[in-house]
Structure 1
Amino acid sequence: MSTTHPQSTTADRRKVVAATIIGTTIEWYDFFIYAFAANLVFAPLFFSPAGEGVAMILSLLTIGLSFLFRPLGAFLAGHYGDRLGRRPMLVLTLLLMGGATTLVGVLPTYASAGLFAPIALILLRILQGISAGGEWGGAVLMSVEHAPLGKRGQFGMSPQLGVPIGMIVASGILALMRVIAPGDAFLEWGWRVPFLLSVVLIGVGYIVRRTVEESPVFQEIREHRDQQSAPIKQLFARHGKLVVLAALLFAGNNALGYMTTGGFIQGLASRPTDEGGYGFDPVGVQLAILLSAVVWLLSTMLGGWLSDKIGRKKTYFIGWALLLAAAIPLFELVKLGVGGIAVGASFMAVGLGLTYGPQAAWYAEMFPARIRYSGVSISYAIGAIIGGAFAASIAQALLQAFGTTWAIVPYLVLMVVIAAVATALLKDRRDIPLDIDFEKSGQWESWHRDQAPHEAGRKS
């Protein structure tokens, strides 16, 4: 049985890989510069009347606030992505994210606009969350559903690369702006430049994504007129437990990842000591995080490739073991300075990549074709809330409550353990056929019920 559409040529696949990498890079660049700014400048600029400590927590909470609206983006994009197609949702979510990010760059501060400033910031952050909730599922399915059999991990890894690449770009630009606009200049105007640069990136991403062919699986669904009228209802009625386990699978990766992608370590390391930080050179801190993002990029590529060779589940377990080993000394290494940050964050990045590279392929293989967009998007969005939404805020609250970063470590360890349990309970369905005919034949349900070996997928 074919698992790719006859029109899914090598050229189509190359375009898809390029488009998903560029698109998700832009999405996550936008997301990361907000997280970094929330840790570095938003507290005094938008929440200063609340007092120093509370302002910092409020600023960090706006990072998590957007996660609460990711499910809305996932529901909307999932519903229309399963009915209208994957590609239209990709373009819309990209434009929404870029537009919201650009507007953050021109917002007035509390000093000049009063309450309007934090309210507008929060509203724009909500739009970012809606966009992020819908974007990932479409990018994943475009990659995995175009992939040849036996290489879904490698193709599905391409949108995952957008996260570390976006972090590399964001860290590099923030480091550059720290040099161009040091000290008060960064607080006054330097932080705005990375947000305004989204205008250029939107144009590039939009052009690239418009040239990509629709997913071959959705083409088959449309040709058979098999779109679900209520895909989300079907998803929870028949696959609710699977959604919960898939969400928990992502939560562990997200909680640890948001120590850097959420900007917590950068903020802690570079804030002055009289503001509760370590007072390290902010440029050096950003460059250390940039190095860890390069390691994350490489380990994500390794994770996708390895999952095609030894399976999704085995790759994840290796990653969880490495993350447990990295979480314990993480903050002790951060205290050592820029070099320690580079070592600690890079060590953690290896485990992050091995538990992120295979995610797209494993998620896509969990859900049948007609509700797949809804399934992967909603699972991802819920996992992001459980794991990453308030990871930075929780870490900051634990630090302030106990006065030591050791209080954060049990929280991170617990999240990894929960995700590892979910990994054990999920079935590895590497190479299961993804097409609509396989679903309609009734074999999808029996495959997921009967622990069939993945080699059957290669023969079908």
Structure 2
Amino acid sequence: MSRSESRPVPWRVAVAGLVGTTIEWYDFFIYALAATLVFAPQFFPSTSTVASTLAALSTFAIGFVARPIGGALIGHFGDRVGRKRMLVLSLLVMGVGTALIGVLPTYASIGVAAPIALVLIRVAQGLAVGGEWGGATLLALEHARTRTERTLLSSLPQVGLPLGVVLASLVFLVVRLGAGDEGFVSWGWRVPFLASAALVVVGLLIRLKLAESPEFERVRRQHTVRRAPIADVLRAPRIWVPASGITIGSSTLGNLLLAFMLGYAAKAKLFSASTMLTVTIVAALLWCVALPAAALLAGRIGRKRVLVAGTVGTIVWAYPYFALVESGSHAGLFLGTMVAAACIAVATGPYGAYLSEAFPAEIRYSGASIAYGIGGVLGGAIAPIVATLLVTSTGGLGAVGGYVAVASGVSLIAVLTLRSPYSVTASALAVRLPEETGTP
């Protein structure tokens, strides 16, 4: 069998990964939109609007908290039995969980069992997403043949995030306009969750046709599969600690843009929910284009330089973005959101390759997934909650801008600290880590 026949075209693998991550992030962000717009009264009734909103946003955060756990679990088996199987599993868990939310009774029907069930489903979704990003990124990265190709193709699963946002926002916008405000709150919000079932079937059919990573196959042939890849990762804090901090800033700003601002602008009567959804869609489309463009640039001038530029951009733009939104000007809203989306895209374009190649292939799935999950918890998970508390205590968005700038400062230090790609070859791994051999 020829080389071209035995090894799939890298672009096809990357695009297949993009389709899967888009579906998973669609599932993840329809929850974010629902938590912002309807979950507070439906599942967390309270005499305090702030309290019920915080409770709803907390379930959104729970999904992020579960991500590093999912990254550890799915990453362990991804390093032991292969990337492809874990990607199929993660998509299946996410899809089933999303469909269940679509038929879940509310608090008015079954009482406290409703929010408990919602939280449990959200935990399952978080576990699934925790293993999704690492697997999709690694399949694209490890099928690529050159350094530039690895940087670009590993960015495509990242594009699944804004594409999922676009898809989720469009579905919510159409349903909201079609059902009206009362119909949307009553039953319309369930439609995007139920529609996910069809998307998951498509995604599973695509993923089942993927080939296993050539680098994992090499590890298996050489009998260097690790028995406890998570333990190996934790023994290398000089890698996983800074790796976990790289996206704290962009994750913080991104989730405020996607989840928090929608509800805040509507409650503060700055802009309608439909206006915010429309702007979010346009910003996410820009994000989709700018992200691979940043990866291409990184392939030419270096990954670290682009990551530093994007992270500095989030620091500089943090306060102007929120000031422009708070001005109540539609032009200000559009400008502020577009620049913020561009900064996030630049700060994450080369991230997949930079983070993944900080770890050797033998522990790469576990290492990348755990670091990605921890960054999500410290960034995106708590961002809407912290922002809500800051706005409640200060009465405005100024303090939120400072919070984003500080989070991005942490990421800048992490980018400058992490060394990538992995500086020791796979053949030397047994020297640096406890010696072991054998197949799983």
Q: Could you say what secondary structure the match of 1:69 adopts?
A: helix
Q: Could you say what secondary structure the match of 1:259 adopts?
A: helix
Q: Could you say what secondary structure the match of 1:49 adopts?
A: coil
For residues 346-384 of structure 1, the C-alpha deviation after alignment (integer angstroms, 9 at most, x for no partner) is 110111111111111011210111111111000101111
Counterpart in 1 of 2:438?
A: none
The residue type paired with residue 413 of structure 2 is V
Distance (whole Å) between structure 2 residues aligned to residue 199 and residue 259 of structure 1: 27
Does the 8 Å contact 1:45/1:110 carry over to 2? yes
Counterpart in 2 of 1:81?
A: 78
The residue type paired with residue 241 of structure 1 is R
Give RMSD over aligned pairs.
1.9
Distance (whole Å) between structure 2 residues aligned to residue 8 and residue 83 of structure 1: 26
Counterpart in 2 of 1:361?
A: 353
Does the 8 Å contact 2:11/2:153 carry over to 1? no
Counterpart in 1 of 2:437?
A: none
Equivalent runs, 1:89-128 vs 2, <5 Å? 89-128=86-125
Distance (whole Å) between structure 2 residues aligned to residue 360 and residue 58 of structure 1: 32
Distance (whole Å) between structure 1 residues aligned to residue 388 and residue 347 of structure 2: 25
Distance (whole Å) between structure 2 residues aligned to residue 201 and residue 433 of structure 1: 40
Counterpart in 1 of 2:426?
A: 439
1:268 aligns with 2:264: yes
Deviation at 1:389, TM superposition (A): 0.8
Does the 8 Å contact 1:96/1:128 carry over to 2? yes
The residue type paired with residue 275 of structure 2 is G
Match of 1:240 among 234, 237, 242: 237
Specify whether residues 281 and 245 from structure 1 end up closer, same or farther in structure 2 by C-alpha distance, changes over 3 A only: same
1:289 aligns with 2:280: yes
For structure 2, the 5+ residue unaligned runs are 433-440
Q: Could you say what secondary structure the match of 1:355 adopts?
A: helix
Q: Name which of structure 1's ranges 79-88 and 49-58 shifts more when overlaid on structure 2.
A: 49-58
For residues 148-178 of structure 1, the C-alpha deviation after alignment (integer angstroms, 9 at most, x for no partner) is 2132111111100100110111111111111
Does the 8 Å contact 1:178/1:282 carry over to 2? no
Distance (whole Å) between structure 1 residues aligned to residue 154 and residue 44 of structure 2: 40
Counterpart in 2 of 1:456?
A: none
Counterpart in 2 of 1:135?
A: 132
Does the 8 Å contact 1:362/1:428 carry over to 2? yes
Counterpart in 2 of 1:453?
A: none
Counterpart in 2 of 1:153?
A: 151
Does the 8 Å contact 2:355/2:420 carry over to 1? no
Counterpart in 2 of 1:350?
A: 342
Matched residue pairs, number?
Answer: 429
Deviation at 1:38, TM superposition (A): 0.6
Counterpart in 2 of 1:326?
A: 317
Distance (whole Å) between structure 1 residues aligned to residue 226 and residue 5 of structure 2: 23
Deviation at 1:340, TM superposition (A): 3.0
Deviation at 1:441, TM superposition (A): 4.2
Does the 8 Å contact 1:8/1:216 carry over to 2? no
Match of 1:163 among 149, 161, 164: 161
Match of 1:384 among 370, 376, 379: 376
TM-score (norm: length of structure 1): 0.90
Distance (whole Å) between structure 1 residues aligned to residue 3 and residue 221 of structure 2: 14
Q: Name which of structure 1's ranges 417-426 and 323-332 shifts more when overlaid on structure 2.
A: 323-332
Deviation at 1:8, TM superposition (A): 8.2
Counterpart in 1 of 2:269?
A: 278
Specify whether residues 330 and 57 from structure 1 end up closer, same or farther in structure 2 by C-alpha distance, changes over 3 A only: same
Distance (whole Å) between structure 1 residues aligned to residue 230 and residue 430 of structure 2: 21
Q: Name which of structure 1's ranges 142-151 and 198-207 shifts more when overlaid on structure 2.
A: 142-151
Distance (whole Å) between structure 2 residues aligned to residue 322 and residue 10 of structure 1: 39
Deviation at 1:225, TM superposition (A): 2.2
Distance (whole Å) between structure 1 residues aligned to residue 53 and residue 242 of structure 2: 33
Distance (whole Å) between structure 2 residues aligned to residue 8 and residue 80 of structure 1: 28
Distance (whole Å) between structure 2 residues aligned to residue 7 and residue 76 of structure 1: 34
TM-score (norm: length of structure 2): 0.94
Does the 8 Å contact 1:85/1:214 carry over to 2? yes
Identity %: 38
Match of 1:173 among 166, 171, 185: 171
Does the 8 Å contact 1:12/1:213 carry over to 2? no
For residues 214-260 of structure 1, the C-alpha deviation after alignment (integer angstroms, 9 at most, x for no partner) is 000011112222211111111111x1221010111111111111112
Counterpart in 2 of 1:196?
A: 194
Distance (whole Å) between structure 1 residues aligned to residue 179 and residue 423 of structure 2: 53
Does the 8 Å contact 1:73/1:133 carry over to 2? yes
Does the 8 Å contact 2:93/2:125 carry over to 1? yes
Q: Could you say what secondary structure the match of 1:260 adopts?
A: helix
Distance (whole Å) between structure 2 residues aligned to residue 339 and residue 196 of structure 1: 35
